[in-house]
Structure 1
């Protein structure tokens, strides 16, 4: 298993606080997949407004966290070091559950296609073994 801590993740992807949405990578294979985790705390800035009476992690941030896991997989390849992976599209996205304070979110993105600077990742976010978000994410490397 290839483990990455937060400082190692920051060497691969350009995201920083408050927009770095991965706490650690449990395993990854450059160009193939990455499995990371986000430990959700009540202190997350977005909970102040989403929603004060019932804090729920915004779905779009979960999709972004999945994209960041995919970026670790694709940008850890020697040919892509120092580059940025941009969103090219989000397809087949389904929200199947909530993410709330105290959840440990598993973020898994597998690269299923790549041709030149464009590729597609199959992404699943889960909490306690239950899928909460799934999507097909298209990326462009720039």
Structure 2
């Protein structure tokens, strides 16, 4: 079955393809790695958030960062000679940011399950070095919680994804 995007989610996805979803993304950590680990079940080497710089509960939005030097082994194998951060891990990063947001808003980490990748677009490659920034916005969509998120590098949109899941 092919999932269709609601008008609200499709509009948000199209906006996310063009520019960051939020201008003021914060610079100081609101949550550090230890606090993030309290919100997520993932651990190294599969934890792709180092710090959260913005939690906006009114807009259901989170901004986080990840130091790509932590993914050295991923870059070594994807791809030798032209290393890139895999698209599937960019989607995972967006999902992790959405889970942090949902848990910080009072949801349950244990009971959340990702069920759909509704849409994804990879606009620019993400080579090693530096940080990536992830912006994720949560939208209630019937029984599902949909996260529309972006991966940014140096302020430019590199990837956009819409993922859905359910709370237990």
TM-score, L = length of structure 2: 0.76
Question: Which has a greater percent of helix?
Answer: 2
**Structure 2 Cα separation of the partners of residues 8 and 38 of structure 1:** 14
Residue-by-residue CA offset, 1:23-43 (whole Å, 9 max, x unaligned): 111011358121101111175
Matching residue within 33, 49, 69 for 2:61: 33
Runs of 4+ aligned structure 1 residues displaced above 6 Å come to none
Question: Which has a greater percent of strand?
Answer: 1
Unaligned runs of 5+ in 1: none
TM-score, L = length of structure 1: 0.88
Matching residue within 91, 104, 122 for 1:76: 104
1:34–1:109 CA contact under 8 A, matched in 2: yes
Give the structure 1 partner of residue 150 of structure 2: 124
> What pairs up with 1:1-142 in 2 under 5 angstroms?
3-30=30-57, 32-41=60-69, 44-78=72-106, 80-116=107-143, 118-142=144-168
Unaligned runs of 5+ in 2: 1-25
1:75–1:85 CA contact under 8 A, matched in 2: no
**Residue 103 to residue 67, structure 1, CA distance change in 2 (3 Å):** same
Post-superposition shift, 1:52?
1.3
1:33–1:110 CA contact under 8 A, matched in 2: yes
